[in-house]
Amino acid sequence: MSDIPNVYDAEPIPQAAMAEVTRLLTTGDLFRYTAAADAPVSLLEAEFAAMMGTKYALAVSSCSAALFLSLKALGLPRDARVLIPGFTFGAVPSSVVHADCVPVLCECGDDYRIDLDDFTAKLPEVSAVIVSHMRGHTSDMDAIMALCEAAQVPVIEDAAHSLGTTWAGRKIGTIGRVGCFSFQSYKLVNAGEGGILITDDADLVARAIIMSGAYEHNWKKHPVLQDAFARWQNRLPLYNLRLSNLSAAIIRPQLAELPRRVRDGRRNHDLVAARLNASPWITVPEKLGPEERAPDSIQFNLNAMIEAETHAFEAAAAARGVKVQVFGLSTDNARAYWNWRFLGDIPDLPRTRAMLMRACDVRLPARLTEAECDVIADILLAAIADVMEPPRAYGT
Ligand SMILES: *Cc1c(COP(=O)(O)O)cnc(C)c1O
């Protein structure tokens, strides 16, 4: 059927990128450290830091690379324990393993956010925390920051999917010691691949810059206190996780599109959420009070449906043209913690597991129109009606 919205295609890259990409291809100037100044990657860092209101930004090859470098730049010793949510993308525990640290998994609740009881219980065991704002859902940052400050444990924000989200008016990614973002194609800014970390900590960013591959004196092209670099010269490994000028040229003109994408993504999400919440079989968890989201997908929980009914709902939605993924039911899902077998010992997280077995994921890109969002809501509600009887009222 041709009237089913296509949720997979990306938005076109703004026209302004074309001229800059052509210039880079014509000159061959693709490496961030060739030009004496004003390389596209350096300009992106300056613009991103200004947009976020932070002192420093370092663009790298992915958000996973940014998480890895953040852990390394914190100077954590080998086998340091790092608390991460049990509901996140498999690249997050992987970045911890890559940094020679040990992930400790924290329970997440029905609202996809960090369970504060489990967080409080496990915090004394760890040397650092990564808060993944999974699918853009912000955990209670007031509580998390208060607990971590009291315990003197540094917080890295995995804001891969949270560009444009705010918490009590503060930009997500600026609340912890470091914030990490992704420019992979399924995020709000699309460069195919890419990432960036932001911080106000000069010494931390100096270490991250050197380790990202600012070999010899290339760090002189970064506007950071020079004595911070002098302290670390030749003392840190060069992991070479730099971003290419081509990627920066594709990212820079998209920053101006952000307010529109955030506004439309929120509108689309809230429209579909209100329609789905009218069904007794579906609950879309409320956002937390201080949170203003920037969604490009919707997550919702199926109520009191057994596994066979959940599968039947997925199949009915697919037959009608909308792909629904239940995180815990799709084979080898990278967001189901029991599939992170590279960790060796995987603890059981009963609350997170229960959530994953009924939490649905549907793409809802910002470029969809309201009419297209209505079609998606119609299909999801029709798929529920295909498999579930209306619940009987009490007393009948
Ligand atoms: C996409 C994503 C990542 C990984 O980002 P990459 O740039 O692909 O490495 C990490 N965490 C979350 C929450 C994500 O959504």
In the chain, which residue ranges form alpha helices assigned H by DSSP? 15-27, 40-52, 63-73, 91-98, 116-122, 141-151, 202-213, 226-232, 245-255, 258-277, 307-320, 350-356, 370-387
Q: Interior CA angle at 83 toward 333 and 331, to 5°?
A: 10
> CA-to-CA distance for 213 and 370, rounded, in angstroms?
45
What pLDDT sits at residue 258? 97
Measured in angstroms, how far is the CA atom of residue 212 from the centroid of ligand 1? 18
What pLDDT sits at residue 71? 98
Domain 258-388 belongs to what topology?
Answer: Aspartate Aminotransferase, domain 1 (3.90.1150)
Q: How many other C-beta atoms are found inside a 10 Å radius of the C-beta of residue 297?
A: 18
Q: Is 298 in the pocket of ligand 1 (CB under 6 A)?
A: no
16-255 carries CATH number 3.40.640.10: yes
Lowest mean pLDDT among 3-7, 71-75, 133-137, 371-375: 3-7
Residue 235 to residues 75, 197, 199, 215, 353, Cα–Cα distance (Å): 12, 21, 21, 11, 43
What pLDDT sits at residue 176? 98
Q: Is 160 in the pocket of ligand 1 (CB under 6 A)?
A: yes
To test ligand 1's pocket by mutation, which of 182, 189, 196, 337 has the most ligand atoms within 8 angstroms of CB? Answer: 182
Domain ranges of the chain: 16-255, 258-388
To test ligand 1's pocket by mutation, which of 60, 89, 251 has the most ligand atoms within 8 angstroms of CB? Answer: 89
What pLDDT sits at residue 2? 53
What pLDDT sits at residue 12? 95
Question: Residue whose CA is closest, atom 3 of ligand 1?
Answer: 160
Place of tokens 């420093």: 56
Q: Is 132 in the pocket of ligand 1 (CB under 6 A)?
A: yes
127 and 76 Cβ atoms separated by less than 8 Å: yes
Structure confidence at residue 112 as a pLDDT band (50, 70, 90): very high
92 and 136 Cβ atoms separated by less than 8 Å: no
What pLDDT sits at residue 115? 98
From the list 192, 234, 186, 176, the residue with the least C-alpha distance to 210 is 234
pLDDT digits (tens, 9 = 90+) for 299-332: 999 999 999 999 999 999 999 999 999 999 989 9
Q: Is 62 in the pocket of ligand 1 (CB under 6 A)?
A: yes
> Which residues have CB under 8 Å from 117's CB, separation 6+?
107
Whether 396 shows a pLDDT value over 90: the answer reads no
- List phi, psi (to 5°) of 64: -60, -40
pLDDT digits (tens, 9 = 90+) for 216-265: 999 999 998 888 898 999 999 999 999 999 999 999 999 999 999 999 99
What string of DSSP letters covers 366-379?
A: TT--HHHHHHHHHH
Question: Considering the chain, what percentage of its residues have pLDDT values greater than 90?
Answer: 94
pLDDT digits (tens, 9 = 90+) for 328-386: 998 999 999 999 999 998 999 999 999 999 999 999 999 999 999 999 999 999 999 99
Mean pLDDT of all residues in 69-75: 98
What pLDDT sits at residue 3? 85
What pLDDT sits at residue 212? 98
Q: Is 158 in the pocket of ligand 1 (CB under 6 A)?
A: yes
pLDDT digits (tens, 9 = 90+) for 13-55: 999 999 999 999 999 999 999 999 999 999 999 999 999 999 9
> CA-to-CA distance for 365 and 8, rounded, in angstroms?
8
pLDDT digits (tens, 9 = 90+) for 121-173: 999 999 999 999 999 999 999 999 999 999 999 999 999 999 999 999 999 99
Q: Is 190 in the pocket of ligand 1 (CB under 6 A)?
A: no
Q: How many other C-beta atoms are found inside a 10 Å radius of the C-beta of residue 320?
A: 17
Structure confidence at residue 389 as a pLDDT band (50, 70, 90): confident
What pLDDT sits at residue 23? 97
313 and 68 Cβ atoms separated by less than 8 Å: no
Q: Is 195 in the pocket of ligand 1 (CB under 6 A)?
A: yes
